[in-house]
Amino acid sequence: MEGLLFLTFATIAVLCAINLVLQTHPISSALSLIGVLGSVAVLYLLLGGEFIAAVQLIVYAGAIMVLFVFVIMLLNTGAEKRPTRKVLVTWISLPLLFTFIALAAMLIGAQVPRTETVTFGGFAGGTTLSVGRALFTQYLLPFEITSILILIAILGAVVLARKEI
């Protein structure tokens, strides 16, 4: 059952990611990104990381996507205009792309050492205690620097969006 759920949500994540790249309207891309983030949260649940799945939904699919949609609405962008491509270029580039992906996969597969396979529900590192302890001891400085950078980005967006009086 876990394998079927994994394949279902992994397929949804990949299809939403492809749709994210192919969309011409920014709001449609943002909605596709929400689909990817939701599918990844379910995959975390399947692996036993309940806390990480909840954080994925609350922080990324919730707060960050609201921020993205707010910025898209603030910029008031329309649909992207696609350049016209010749059919010959498409027919030449697609086989080259698939060849590159296959070669990259073979090279990465040859370099990565073999490890044991993932067992569903076997992940024990995503508890609230372990994440909180690591975040506020070992990773406190990067956490605080990230929060300051986000604050600076928000202030910059407010200054840029401010209308001249």
Domain termination residue (choose one: 78, 101, 135): 78
Q: Are residues 69 and 10 both part of a single domain?
A: yes
49-62 pLDDT tens trace:
788 888 888 888 78
Share of the chain above pLDDT 90, in %: 24
- Give the pLDDT of residue 121: 62
Please tell me the pTM assigned to this model.
Answer: 0.59
Residue-wise burial string across 24-35, b where 16 or more C-beta atoms lie within 10 A, e elsewhere: eebeebbbbbbb
Whether residue 112 is contained in a domain is answered as no
Domain count, the chain: 2
- Give tens-digit pLDDT for 134-155: 888 999 999 899 889 988 988 8
Reply yes or no on whether the pLDDT at 117 is more than 90: no
Q: Which domain holds residue 32?
A: 1-78
- 3 and 73 inside one domain: yes
What's the confidence (pLDDT) of residue 118? Answer: 65
Q: Report the alpha-carbon distance of residue 135 to residue 35 in Å, rounded.
A: 27
The answer to whether the CB of 11 falls within 8 A of the CB of 125 is: no
**How much is the pLDDT for 10?**
94
* Residue 51 located in a structural domain: yes
| Mean pLDDT on 63-77 | 75
Residues 131 and 73 in one domain: no
Q: What Å distances lie between residue 41 and 19, 24, 54, 57, 159, CA to CA?
A: 18, 26, 7, 6, 34
Residue 70 shares a structural domain with residue 136? no
Has residue 42 been placed in a domain?
yes
In this prediction, residues 69-83 reach a mean pLDDT of 70
Together in a domain, 66 and 4: yes
pLDDT confidence bin for 156, thresholds 50/70/90: confident
Q: Residues 72, 74, 79, 85: is their CA dihedral positive or negative?
A: negative
Residue 114 inside a domain? The answer is: no
In a domain, 111, yes or no: no
Domain boundary among 53, 78, 103: 78
133 and 68, same structural domain? no
The answer on 70 and 143 residing in a single domain is: no
59 in any annotated domain = yes
- Looking at the fold, whether 6 and 71 belong to one and the same domain comes out as yes
C-alpha angle 42-47-51 in degrees, rounded to nearest 5: 70
pLDDT band for 24, please (50, 70, 90 cuts). Answer: confident
Final residue of a domain: which of 78, 110, 144? 78
Instruction: Say if 74 falls within a structural domain.
Output: yes
Query: Does some domain include residue 70?
Result: yes
Domain with residue 56: its CATH number is: 1.20.120.1200
Reference 82, options 9, 18, 150, 24; nearest CA is 24
Confidence of residue 164 (pLDDT cuts 50, 70, 90): low
165 by DSSP, 3-state: which? coil
